A and B are shown apart, each in its own frame.
Chain A
Amino acid sequence: EPEVTQTPSHQVTQMGQEVILRCVPISNHLYFYWYRQILGQKVEFLVSFYNNEISEKSEIFDDQFSVERPDGSNFTLKIRSTKLEDSAMYFCASRTESRSGNTIYFGEGSWLTVV
């Protein structure tokens, strides 16, 4: 069964450093998403991406965050200057665009620990 894959599974970084989280969405999918979950809290939407541009973003997704689809297969989330409060699990997700296939599928996540 096709799946969304994410790397790294866990990353520890120092405050102020840049981090790039990578995702390979399911191959025929056209909509891409990033969510995050701070330990013990709800899963929160960050951003959606379609046709090489951001289609929707939340208040969390400020100027420190950016997304990119550099090569037609990877989808990345960059945090420019990490803060302690960016420590969370980050989930990538994707879905196709069809009347029969509208389900969003999630990856297993990347744990980011900012120290």
Chain B
Amino acid sequence: GAGVSQSPSNKVTEKGKDVELRCDPISGHTALYWYRQSLGQGLEFLIYFQGNSAPDKSGLPSDRFSAERTGGSVSTLTIQRTQQEDSAVYLCASSTTSGVIETQYFGPGTRLLVL
């Protein structure tokens, strides 16, 4: 079946511009995560959506970052006034519970380069 999809695959923008990154989770998965992966770094948690509950935004690095999830499905991560340090791969994951563990399925990521 279809996995998690993300768009665009690559995004090059100028410092100060706003960008929107999109994630289409696996159908039926109620949980959705955004992570950031910088070169040589592990995945950094950004935000978590679960059903109709209030999202956990504790990982967002600044108020320039926001995310929404419409209709419990598609999610958009918005970065306003981008900075060069925002350059990274942004990964989305959706999850289901298999056995005793929740399994997160990742999309291929959006590679963001801020010039």
**Are these two chains actual partners, yes or no?**
no
**A residues apposed to B, CB below 8 Å:** none
